[in-house]
C-alpha cells in the first residue's frame, strides 16, 4: 500500500496541520477534527441517498423506455433537491387516530441506521470514521434497526394496509436476518477479524467473492430482503397494500422513508464491496492507486446491480418468500459456513495480509 | 386443439399450492383457534383494481376468507341513453364501454343493427372492420398482459412496455379514424371513412415488430421463476365452473374450452380467414395470460391476411348504407368476440329512428362474477394476481 494516495487521510492531515498552525491544541483539536469528520460523512450519507434517488429513477426510466427526470439541472441531476424542497414545504399529515408520538419518530428511526452504518464503512485504508474491532457485528446490529421503524410506522398509522405491511416487515426481518448474518460470518472466518478494515486488508491477494461465491449470493439476496427493496418489498407491496407501512405518511416524513430505503441500498452496496469485492483495493495491484476512487466505484456499481433487480422481477407472495428464507437460504448459509471452515483449514494463509 | 405455447416451462406446476382450506371457518372450534377476521375495503381507488372496482374483503391474516364485489361507480346508464339517440349516434356511446378495445364494441352494435335491418356489408368495409377490430384486440391484450405483470409485481416495467407497443397500434388506428381511443368508426352497413393511402404498409410495419415485443414479454415475465411461482396452479377456474358462470373470452379459453364467437357463431369475413383458437389446459393464471399472448399472435395473422384482401379491393368503395337508418319493427341479438369475451347487444325497434330498447351483455361484468369463488382461500397477493388475470375493464362492467 505504499505509494497509494489516500485523499481522505491527506485532507484530514491538512486540516490538522492548519488548525495546529492557528494554535488549536489538545482535546479541542481532536474534537474539531472528529466533528468535521462526522459532519462530512453524515452529510455525504444523506446527500448520497438523495442523489441515489435520481440515479434510481433514471435507471428505472432507462429500462422502461422512457425519459425519467431530466429537467432540473443537467440531465435532471438536481431533481432530488427539488423533491426535497417540495417534501419539506409540504404539510406532513398525521391521521386523527394515529399514535402521534410513534408516528412522528418512526421516519427518523428509519433514516438513522443507514447513516450510522457509515461509521464503520472503510472508505480507504486510513479512513473509516471508527475502526471498531467488532465492526461487522456493529454493522448488522445497527442496520437491522430499520425494521422496528417500519413496524412502528405500520402500527401507529392505525390503518389496516399499514399494519399488514408492518407485520410483513417483522416476519421478513426474522426470516432473512439469519442467512444475512450467517453469510457474512464466512467472510469473518476467512479474515479472522470482526473489524471491517481488517476484512478489507485480508482480501489483499484474493477477493472474498471467489472463495465465498455462495456466501456472496446469499448476502446479495438476503441483503435485498433486509433492504425491503423490490422484488422483496412485501412491506410496501404497492399492488396489494397501496403503499404498505407508509400509506399514511406524507411530506418529509414520507421523504425520510424514501431516503432511508435508497440510502440503505447504497450502504448495502458498500458493505457488499467491503465484504466480497476487496473494499478500497484496486482490482489489479497498483492500478490507479486511489483507494477512495475504487471504493466508490465499486459501491456505485453494486448500487446499480441491486437496483437493476428491482425493475425486472415480479414480487413474491409472503408465504413463498418466508419459505424461501427459512427453507432454502438459511440451510445454504449454514452450508456456506462449512465451506468457509474448510477453506480456512486448507488455504487460510492466503488471507493473512 | 391448439394448446398455447409455453416457453421454457422451468418449474413444475404445483396445483393449488398455498391455498388454505376454508372448511375450518365453518366449525365452532374456529373461535378458540386464533384471531379475529379483518375486513378491508380494497378500492374503489386502490392501485390495482383497474379502475373503480371495490372489493370488500374478509381476511384472516393474509388469507382471503370472503370477497364481495361492489361496483357501479362508473355507471353511465348506457342502455337508457340508447333510447334517446339514433342508431348511428349510439355508436359513439358504445366506444365508452370497453375503452381499451372500442372498435369491438362498435362492431357488436353495428352487427346488431345490420341484423335488425338485414343489411349487407361489402368486402372493403369488412376488411377494414376486421383489421381495426383485431388491432383493438391487440391493444387491449397489450394492456391486459402488461397490467397483469404489474399486479404480480413487475413494478411498472411491463405496463410501460405494453403501453409503448400499444402506442404503435394506436398510431395506425389514429391514422385510420382520427382518434386514439374513442374511434366512432363503424356504421350500420359500412364504416365511417376509408383508409388513407399507404395505410396498409404502415400496419404491416407495426405487425413486423410485434413478434419481438411478444418475445420481450416472455423474457421479462413468462420465463421468470418468481412470475411462475406466483401464477402457476393459482386461481384455477375449472371447465365446469367457467361454463356455469358463463365466462367467455380468454378467461374461458384459458380453462380449456375452445369457444370463440368468431368460430362458433361466425360473423364478418372470419369464416374465410385462417386462424387458430388458443386454449389453455389448467385454467390457472398462467394459462389465461398465455392465451392472451397467443391471441396477439393470432390477431397478427388475421390482420396480415386482411391487409392483402384490402389491397385487392377498390379504394373508396365502402358499400351502400342507408342515409337515414330506420330499421323495421322487430328485435335482434348479435354477439361479437370482444377482447374480454363475448359482447352482445339486444335491440328492439319500433320502426322509429331510435331504438325502442337496448340491452348489453358485457363480457367483463359476467367474467367478474367468477372472481369471489376463485379467490377464496388464496392470499391477498393472489387476489390481485387472479383479478389481473381475468382482465376486466370497469367501463364495460358498469356501462
Q: Tell me the average pLDDT of chain B.
A: 86
Residue A315 and residue B232: Cα distance in Å, rounded?
14
What sign does the CA torsion over A14, A15, A18, A21 have? Answer: negative
Q: Residue A196, SS3?
A: helix
Query: Within an 8 Å CB–CB cutoff, is residue B150 touching chain A?
Result: yes
Query: Within an 8 Å CB–CB cutoff, is residue B11 touching chain A?
Result: no
Query: Within an 8 Å CB–CB cutoff, is residue B379 touching chain A?
Result: yes
Position B1 scores a pLDDT of 41
The tens digit of pLDDT for each residue in B155-171 reads 788 888 989 889 999 99
Rounded average pLDDT over A194-200: 85
Q: Where are the alpha helices (DSSP H) in chain A?
A: 7-21, 26-63, 79-89, 100-117, 135-143, 146-156, 160-191, 196-202, 213-226, 238-241, 251-276, 291-312, 318-323, 330-347
pLDDT greater than 70 at residue A127: no
pLDDT greater than 50 at residue B151: yes
- Which of A161, A242, A314 faces B153 most closely, judged by CB atoms? A314
pLDDT greater than 60 at residue B254: yes
Burial B235-274 (b: 16+ CB within 10 A, else e): bbbeeeebeebebbbbbbbbbbbebbbbeeeebbbbeebe
The tens digit of pLDDT for each residue in B169-209 reads 999 999 999 888 888 898 888 888 888 888 999 999 999 98
Position A1 scores a pLDDT of 41
A231: preceding bond cis by omega (within 30 degrees):
yes
**What distance in Å separates residue B237's CA from the closest CA in chain A?**
20
Position B316 scores a pLDDT of 81
Q: How many CB pairs under 8 A join A and B?
A: 79
Rounded average pLDDT over A252-258: 88
Position A125 scores a pLDDT of 73
**CB burial of residue B14 (10 Å; 0-12, 13-18, 19+):** exposed
Residue A56 and residue A73: Cα distance in Å, rounded?
16
Position B391 scores a pLDDT of 87
The tens digit of pLDDT for each residue in B96-108 reads 888 888 999 999 9
Rounded average pLDDT over A268-294: 82
CA B233, B234, B238: angle at the middle one, nearest 5?
80
Query: Within an 8 Å CB–CB cutoff, is residue A161 touching chain B?
Result: yes
Q: Residue A202, SS3?
A: helix
B44: preceding bond cis by omega (within 30 degrees):
yes
Query: Within an 8 Å CB–CB cutoff, is residue A312 touching chain B?
Result: yes
Contact A240 B38 (CB under 8 A): no
Rounded average pLDDT over B52-64: 86
Query: Within an 8 Å CB–CB cutoff, is residue B156 touching chain A?
Result: yes
Residue A148 and residue A235: Cα distance in Å, rounded?
12
Contact B161 A240 (CB under 8 A): no
**What distance in Å separates residue B276's CA from the closest CA in chain A?**
30
Q: Tell me the average pLDDT of chain A.
A: 84
Contact A164 B149 (CB under 8 A): no
The label of the residue with cell 359482447 reads B343
Position A77 scores a pLDDT of 87
Position B4 scores a pLDDT of 53
Residue B276 and residue B264: Cα distance in Å, rounded?
13
Q: In chain B, how many H helices and how many E strands? A: 16, 8
The label of the residue with cell 375486513 reads B39
Query: Within an 8 Å CB–CB cutoff, is residue B18 touching chain A?
Result: yes
Rounded average pLDDT over A150-175: 88
Rounded average pLDDT over B378-393: 89
Retrieve residue B258's grid coordinates.
375452445
Residue B55 near residue B384 (C-beta atoms within 8 A): no
pLDDT greater than 60 at residue B6: no
Position A2 scores a pLDDT of 45
Residue A257 near residue A110 (C-beta atoms within 8 A): yes
Residue B225 near residue B10 (C-beta atoms within 8 A): yes
Q: Of B16, B15, B18, nearest to B63 (Cα)?
A: B18
The tens digit of pLDDT for each residue in B326-342 reads 888 989 999 999 899 89
Query: Within an 8 Å CB–CB cutoff, is residue B208 touching chain A?
Result: no
Residue B340 near residue B58 (C-beta atoms within 8 A): no
Percentage, residues of chain A above pLDDT 70: 95
**What distance in Å separates residue B35's CA from the closest CA in chain A?**
14
The helix or strand, by DSSP H or E, that contains position B303, with its residue range, turns out to be helix B285-312
Rounded average pLDDT over B64-93: 89
The tens digit of pLDDT for each residue in A1-58 reads 444 566 777 777 788 888 888 877 778 888 888 888 888 888 888 888 888 888 888 8
Say what the ipTM of the complex is: 0.82
Q: Identify from B222, B381, B384, B389 which residue to disrupt to test chain A contact, counting A C-beta atoms within 10 A and taking the largest count.
A: B381
Contact A316 B152 (CB under 8 A): no
Residue A224 or A288, more confident: A224
Contact B160 A64 (CB under 8 A): yes
Residue B279 near residue B291 (C-beta atoms within 8 A): yes
**CB burial of residue B302 (10 Å; 0-12, 13-18, 19+):** buried
Q: How many residues does chain B have?
A: 399
Contact A315 B18 (CB under 8 A): no
Q: How confident is the model at residue A126 (pLDDT cuts 50, 70, 90)?
A: low
pTM of the model: 0.86
Q: How confident is the model at residue B346 (pLDDT cuts 50, 70, 90)?
A: very high
Percentage, residues of chain B above pLDDT 90: 23
The tens digit of pLDDT for each residue in A236-250 reads 877 788 888 888 888
Q: How confident is the model at residue B35 (pLDDT cuts 50, 70, 90)?
A: low
Q: How confident is the model at residue B134 (pLDDT cuts 50, 70, 90)?
A: very high
Percentage, residues of chain A above pLDDT 90: 4
Query: Within an 8 Å CB–CB cutoff, is residue A158 touching chain B?
Result: no
Count of other CB atoms within 10 angstroms of residue B313: 16
Q: Of A181, A175, A316, nearest to A240 (Cα)?
A: A316
Rounded average pLDDT over B374-391: 88
Please, which residues have CB within 8 angstroms of residue A299's CB and are 6 or more apart in sequence?
A: A266, A269, A270, A273
Query: Within an 8 Å CB–CB cutoff, is residue A318 touching chain B?
Result: yes
The tens digit of pLDDT for each residue in B303-327 reads 999 999 988 888 888 888 888 888 8
Count of other CB atoms within 10 angstroms of residue B308: 11
The tens digit of pLDDT for each residue in B260-316 reads 999 889 988 999 999 889 888 888 888 899 999 999 999 999 999 999 998 888 888
Contacts of B382 in chain A (CB under 8 A): 317
Query: Within an 8 Å CB–CB cutoff, is residue B47 touching chain A?
Result: yes
Amino acid at each position: 500500500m505504499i505509494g497509494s494516495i489516500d485523499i481522505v487521510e491527506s485532507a484530514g492531515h491538512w486540516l490538522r496541520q492548519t488548525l495546529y498552525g492557528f494554535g488549536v491544541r489538545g482535546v479541542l483539536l481532536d474534537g474539531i477534527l472528529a466533528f468535521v469528520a462526522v459532519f462530512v460523512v453524515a452529510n455525504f450519507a444523506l446527500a448520497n441517498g438523495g442523489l441515489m434517488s435520481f440515479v434510481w429513477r433514471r435507471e428505472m426510466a432507462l429500462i422502461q423506455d422512457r425519459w425519467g427526470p431530466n429537467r432540473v439541472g443537467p440531465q435532471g441531476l438536481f431533481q432530488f433537491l427539488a423533491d426535497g424542497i417540495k417534501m419539506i414545504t409540504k404539510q406532513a399529515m398525521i391521521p386523527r387516530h394515529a399514535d402521534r408520538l410513534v408516528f412522528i419518530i418512526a421516519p427518523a428511526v428509519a433514516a438513522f441506521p443507514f447513516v450510522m452504518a457509515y461509521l464503520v464503512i472503510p472508505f480507504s485504508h486510513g479512513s473509516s470514521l471508527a475502526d471498531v474491532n467488532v465492526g461487522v457485528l456493529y454493522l448488522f446490529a445497527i442496520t437491522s434497526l430499520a425494521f422496528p421503524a417500519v413496524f412502528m410506522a405500520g402500527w401507529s398509522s392505525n390503518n389496516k394496509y399499514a399494519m399488514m405491511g408492518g407485520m410483513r416487515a417483522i416476519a421478513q426481518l426474522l426470516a432473512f436476518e439469519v442467512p444475512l448474518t450467517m453469510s457474512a460470518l464466512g467472510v469473518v472466518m476467512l479474515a479472522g477479524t470482526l473489524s471491517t478494515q481488517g476484512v478489507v486488508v485480508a482480501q489483499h491477494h484474493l477477493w472474498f467473492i471467489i472463495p465465498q461465491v455462495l456466501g456472496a449470493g446469499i448476502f446479495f439476496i438476503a441483503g435485498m430482503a433486509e433492504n425491503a427493496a423490490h422484488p422483496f418489498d412485501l412491506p410496501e407491496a404497492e399492488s396489494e397494500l397501496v403503499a404498505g407501512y407508509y400509506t399514511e405518511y406524507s411530506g418529509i416524513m414520507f421523504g425520510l422513508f424514501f431516503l432511508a430505503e435508497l440510502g440503505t441500498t447504497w450502504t448495502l452496496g458498500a458493505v457488499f464491496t467491503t465484504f466480497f469485492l476487496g473494499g478500497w483495493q484496486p482490482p489489479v495491484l497498483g492500478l490507479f492507486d486511489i483507494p477512495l476512487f475504487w471504493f466508490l466505484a465499486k459501491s456505485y456499481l453494486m448500487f446499480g446491480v441491486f437496483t437493476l433487480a428491482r425493475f425486472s422481477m415480479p414480487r413474491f407472495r409472503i408465504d413463498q418468500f418466508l419459505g424461501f428464507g427459512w427453507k432454502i437460504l438459511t440451510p445454504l448459509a449454514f452450508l456456506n459456513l462449512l465451506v468457509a471452515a474448510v477453506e480456512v483449514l486448507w488455504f487460510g494463509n492466503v488471507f493473512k495480509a | 386443439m391448439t394448446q398455447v405455447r409455453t416457453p421454457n416451462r422451468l418449474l413444475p406446476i404445483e396445483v393449488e399450492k398455498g391455498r388454505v382450506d376454508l372448511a375450518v371457518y365453518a366449525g365452532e372450534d374456529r373461535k378458540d383457534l386464533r384471531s379475529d377476521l379483518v375486513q378491508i375495503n380494497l378500492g374503489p381507488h386502490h392501485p390495482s383494481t383497474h379502475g373503480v372496482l371495490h372489493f370488500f374483503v374478509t381476511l384472516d391474516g393474509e388469507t382471503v376468507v370472503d370477497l364481495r364485489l361492489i361496483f357501479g361507480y362508473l355507471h353511465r346508464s348506457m342502455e337508457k341513453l340508447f333510447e334517446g339517440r339514433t342508431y348511428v349516434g349510439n355508436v359513439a356511446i358504445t366506444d365508452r364501454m370497453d375503452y381499451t378495445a372500442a372498435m369491438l364494441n362498435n362492431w357488436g352494435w353495428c352487427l346488431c343493427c345490420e341484423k335488425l335491418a338485414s343489411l349487407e356489408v361489402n368486402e372493403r368495409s369488412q376488411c377494414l372492420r376486421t383489421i381495426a377490430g383485431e388491432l383493438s384486440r391487440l391493444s387491449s391484450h397489450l394492456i391486459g398482459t402488461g397490467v397483469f405483470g404489474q399486479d404480480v409485481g413487475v413494478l411498472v416495467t411491463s405496463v410501460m412496455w405494453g403501453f409503448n407497443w400499444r402506442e404503435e397500434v394506436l398510431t395506425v388506428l389514429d391514422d385510420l379514424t382520427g382518434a386514439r381511443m374513442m374511434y366512432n368508426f363503424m356504421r350500420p352497413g359500412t364504416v365511417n371513412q376509408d383508409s388513407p393511402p399507404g395505410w396498409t404498409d404502415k400496419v404491416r410495419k407495426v405487425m413486423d415488430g410485434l413478434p419481438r415485443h411478444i418475445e420481450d414479454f416472455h423474457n421479462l415475465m413468462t420465463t421468470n421463476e418468481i412470475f411462475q411461482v406466483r401464477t402457476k396452479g393459482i386461481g384455477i377456474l375449472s371447465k365446469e365452473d367457467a361454463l356455469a358462470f358463463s365466462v367467455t373470452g380468454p378467461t374461458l379459453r384459458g380453462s380449456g374450452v375452445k369457444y370463440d364467437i368468431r368460430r362458433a357463431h361466425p360473423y364478418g369475413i372470419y369464416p374465410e380467414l385462417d386462424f387458430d383458437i388458443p386454449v389453455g389446459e389448467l385454467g390457472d393464471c398462467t394459462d389465461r395470460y398465455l392465451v392472451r399472448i397467443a391471441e396477439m399472435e393470432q390477431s397478427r395473422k388475421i390482420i396480415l391476411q386482411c391487409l392483402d384482401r384490402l389491397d385487392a379491393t377498390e379504394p373508396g368503395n365502402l358499400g351502400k348504407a342507408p342515409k337515414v337508418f330506420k330499421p323495421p319493427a322487430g328485435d335482434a341479438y348479435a354477439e361479437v368476440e370482444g377482447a374480454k369475451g363475448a359482447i352482445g347487444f339486444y335491440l328492439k325497434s319500433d320502426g322509429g329512428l331510435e331504438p325502442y330498447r337496448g340491452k348489453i351483455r358485457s363480457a367483463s361484468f359476467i367474467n367478474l362474477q367468477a372472481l369471489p369463488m376463485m379467490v377464496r382461500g388464496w392470499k391477498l397477493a393472489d387476489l390481485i394476481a387472479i383479478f389481473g388475470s381475468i382482465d376486466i375493464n370497469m367501463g364495460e362492467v358498469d356501462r
